Amino acid sequence: MLIDFENHIFLEEQLQPIRSPAGSICERYWNEKANRVALRLYKEASDPEYFLKWMDEAGIDMAVLTVNLINGLEPMKRWNDFCATVVKKYPKRFVGFAVIPPAGGKAALDELDRAVNGLGMRGVHIWTHDGGYNLDSPEMYPFYEKVSKLKIPVDVHVTLEPPGMGFLDSDYGMYFTLAREYDMSASVLRLCLGGVLESYPDITFIMNHFGGGVSSIIERVDWYSGRAGSSAMETFYKNRPRITRPWREYFDKLYFNIAGREVGVNAVQCALTNISTKRLVFGTDWPFNFDYRPENVKKLVAEIKNLGLPAGAVEDICGENAKRILKLA
């Protein structure tokens, strides 16, 4: 069973009000004002029938629906209602994750309660930043309390315009390529080193885009952070450490999806140097990646199958880990 853990569907109000040209659902263009690559999405990105057609051709059995490019609690409520309608119509093909501003106070947490207990959402989708707050900010802790009580997973997506990355602006799209990945890597470390996973050990986090490639710097973090209670760790922290156990214990509790890299298995191989196959879930980041090229999804799956992984590992990555997170039969 192939489960896509990063599949984005949109409200029509978020999209270009026309069908896409030449069958392309997502278009990249250069935003002259911002001097950055930007994205343009077309009407098909709100059409579940179009999603199902693409999924069938790509060999995807089920998709977790989330949303991006949305701001404000009221639009998020409308999206939650829309997503719930889609899931209700196609319960064997789609699972919905609610969207709220996690640092949005009581109104946002009440909406999360409604989305989960009233609409049947299986989790919540957030970004690496909300209202200027990072994942380890104290202002995020009421959200974690709510999530812990609801017993739902948290899907953490890259922030499309992460703050403090202006040094990557260039005439050749470097911001688009690197900024979100740097930010996601930092967010992974904030969860592990900042005490969130120690305070809320029962919360399941799924970090998008391989955790931004954090696997490549793990040994560097090992060196500088030291072991819990060691003098090296005391030096690493400006104030007392926020965790009492080795940080890798928290890292090994995270899940990572493999979306955000288009075609190619090299990123999967890199991630596997430090991330267990029990902690990777398949994802496409559709429609931002793969556009209408379902054959490339099949190619990626075939490449994963040809990696020579231990028995059961491919099944874990492609569906079994997702089933465990989603508590699917």
Neighbours of 89 (CB within 10 A): 11
Burial classification of residue 127, based on how many CB atoms lie within 10 Å of its CB (0-12 exposed, 13-18 middle, 19 or more buried): buried
Q: Please tell me the predicted confidence (pLDDT) of residue 222.
A: 85
Q: Return the CATH number of the domain spanning residue range 3-326.
A: 3.20.20.140
pTM for the predicted model, two decimal places: 0.94
Residue 123 β-bridge partners: 97
Q: Please tell me the predicted confidence (pLDDT) of residue 230.
A: 63
Rounded distance between C-alpha atoms, residue 275 and residue 128, angstroms: 20
Q: Please tell me the predicted confidence (pLDDT) of residue 227.
A: 60
Per-residue b/e over 18-49, b at no fewer than 16 CB within 10 Å? eebeeeebbeeeeeeeeebeeeebbbbbbbbe
Residue 30 β-bridge partners: 37
- 15 neighbors 45 (Cβ within 8 angstroms): yes
Rounded distance between C-alpha atoms, residue 320 and residue 322, angstroms: 5
Burial classification of residue 132, based on how many CB atoms lie within 10 Å of its CB (0-12 exposed, 13-18 middle, 19 or more buried): exposed
Q: pLDDT 10s per residue in the chain (329 long)?
A: 999 999 999 999 999 988 887 778 988 888 888 888 888 899 999 999 999 999 999 999 999 999 999 999 999 999 999 999 999 999 999 999 999 999 999 999 999 999 999 999 999 999 999 999 999 999 999 999 999 999 999 999 999 889 999 999 888 888 888 999 999 999 999 999 999 999 999 999 999 999 998 999 998 888 877 665 566 677 777 777 788 888 999 999 999 999 977 667 999 999 999 999 999 999 999 999 998 899 999 999 999 999 999 999 999 999 999 999 999 97
Rounded distance between C-alpha atoms, residue 122 and residue 201, angstroms: 19
Domain spans of the chain? Answer: 3-326
Rounded distance between C-alpha atoms, residue 288 and residue 8, angstroms: 8
